[in-house]
Amino acid sequence: MSNSAQDWINQWQALSQRYWDGWKTQGVMPPAGFGKADANAPWQAGLDQWAQLFGKGNSQSDLVDRVTANAKSYVALMQSMLNTSVGQDGGGSAAAWTEAVRNGFNIPGMDASLWNNPLGTNFRDMAGQGAKGFEQMMAEFGRGAGPFKQEMLAGLGMPAFGLAREHQERWQQLGSAMVEYQEQTNRYNTLILKSSQQGFERFQSKLAEREEPGRQLDSVRAVYDLWIDAAEEAYAEIALSDEFRTVYAAMVNAQMRVRSLMQTEVEQQTRQLGMPTRTELKGVEKSVQELRRHLKASREASAADMAGEIAALRAEVDALKQQVAQSAPAAAPRPAAAAVNPPEAAKPAAAAKKTKR
């Protein structure tokens, strides 16, 4: 080992110690077994303990979880890159750095099926709470059914007999739909994995462009941002492909078929227990909406009728007022003084004239 490489390692270990010392001042302890000379202790371990400082149930705990999850990836990436730097003195190739980034995303303890697949990891982290129950159930199904798929499919195609035949056919449909959903999900996941791989390839070419003097990246954040650009570009290309469009729709449609058949099963059970079913409720909701529309239309129509009627009555009153006003002087010509103090009979017409619209 050259002196400069040894110097770098010494320096790196000293810096790593400072990193952990920084955490210790905040009450976060390094992982068990961490010694002064251990530069390989996973830096992201500090983040878990940082998150625990908030406890659960804190109003910002979702945000803390999200920050922690992403900062862990970032810190692991940071550490992986620094480990790669040992002895390279800025001379590492784009391929070597790409490998460092790839390794940075493979955090020990993570689901091995997501190894080298940061986009897949991202999607799993993103899944909303509402989706988890269903996804977990399907994952369990996949694990259980996977090894027996052929036998299961053969069983699902068997004819049904006797009293329970209708029920059996429904269960067979549900089983087939679940298998279909698994298959479509696998097709989708294959494309996501492909996107991750192409992301690394793009990243490598983007890095190669940075080999020109003066264009080198000099911070982990800059490397990280370049990786994000590459990953998004690769994903966008796949997500806008005809293949993705078909696979995506097939996966969503397959999931909807499973959900729909499960709803039917739940309805079977609730009906037998004398509870209202979703179908019945939908029928009521549809009727309510139709009544609502009808009521609004009737109100508007009657308001329009009323307005028309009022307008017609006003016109009639106006016409009558005009008639009265025109006929009154002709019927009884008065002396000039009478106009100053009109007789009682003439007063309503005069009053009406004042309020004429």
Partner 1 sequence: MGPIRIEPQKALDEALKLQQKLSAGAQTLRSLDPVTFGVTPKEAVYKDDKVTLYRFRGERPATTKTPLLICYALVNTPYMVDLQDDRSMVKNLLALGQDVYLIDWGYPDGSDKYLNLDDYINGYLRRCVEFLRKSHSVDAINLLGICQGGAFSLCFSAIYPEKIKNLVTMVTPVDFHTPDNMLSHWVRELDVDLFVDTLGNIPADLMNYCYLTLKPMRLNQQKYIGLVDILDNKTELENFLRMEKWIFDSPDQAGEAFRQFIKDFYQGNKLLKGGLQIGDKSVDLKNVRAPVLNIFAEQDHLVPPAASRALKDVVGSSDYSQIAFKGGHIGIYVSSRAQREVPPAIHDWLAKRS
Nearer Cβ to partner 1 (236/350): 236
Subset of 291-350 contacting partner 1 (CB under 8 A): 292-293, 296
Q: Confirm or reject binding of residue 286 to partner 1 (CB under 8 A).
A: yes
- Residue among 36, 35, 70 at smallest CA distance from 50: 70
Out of 29, 153, 249, 332, the only residue in the binding site for partner 1 (CB under 8 A) is 249
Nearest distance in Å: CB 141, partner 1: 18
Which DSSP string do the residues of 58-115 spell out, in sequence order? -TTHHHHHHHHHHHHHHHHHHHHHHHHHTTTTT---HHHHHHHHHHHH--TTS-GGGT
Asked whether the beta carbons of 204 and 95 are under 8 A apart, the reply is yes
Subset of 81-110 contacting partner 1 (CB under 8 A): 81-82, 85, 88, 90-94, 96-97
CA distance 119 to 55: 29
Q: Confirm or reject binding of residue 41 to partner 1 (CB under 8 A).
A: no
Q: Which token pair is 177?
A: 């739909």
Out of 122, 182, 184, 185, the only residue in the binding site for partner 1 (CB under 8 A) is 122
Exposure string (b/e) for 163-192, b if CB count within 10 Å is 16 or more?
A: eeeeeeeeebbbbbbbbbbbebbebbbebb
Nearer Cβ to partner 1 (154/256): 256
Q: Which token pair is 7?
A: 């110097």
Helices 220-239 + 165-209 axis angle, to 10: 130
Q: Which stretch binds partner 1 (CB under 8 A): 135-143, 265-273, 282-290, 313-321?
A: 282-290
Q: Confirm or reject binding of residue 30 to partner 1 (CB under 8 A).
A: no
Q: Which stretch binds partner 1 (CB under 8 A): 119-127, 140-148, 328-336, 342-350?
A: 119-127
Q: Confirm or reject binding of residue 200 to partner 1 (CB under 8 A).
A: no
Compute CA distances 109 → 105, 112, 115, whole Å. 12, 8, 10
Out of 22, 144, 308, 342, the only residue in the binding site for partner 1 (CB under 8 A) is 22
Asked whether the beta carbons of 87 and 8 are under 8 A apart, the reply is yes
Entry field: residues in the chain: 357
Q: What is the CA radius of gyration of the chain?
A: 39
Nearer Cβ to partner 1 (303/319): 303
CA distance 342 to 328: 11
Q: Confirm or reject binding of residue 34 to partner 1 (CB under 8 A).
A: no
Q: Which token pair is 276?
A: 């209202």
Q: Confirm or reject binding of residue 252 to partner 1 (CB under 8 A).
A: yes
Subset of 257-276 contacting partner 1 (CB under 8 A): 257, 259-260, 263
The terminus-to-terminus CA distance of the chain in angstroms comes to 104
Nearer Cβ to partner 1 (205/327): 205
30 alpha carbon, distance to own chain's centre:
35
Nearest distance in Å: CB 143, partner 1: 23
Nearer Cβ to partner 1 (245/353): 245
How many binding residues for partner 1 (CB under 8 A)?
98
Nearest distance in Å: CB 304, partner 1: 11
Q: Which stretch binds partner 1 (CB under 8 A): 145-153, 161-169, 269-277, 278-286?
A: 278-286
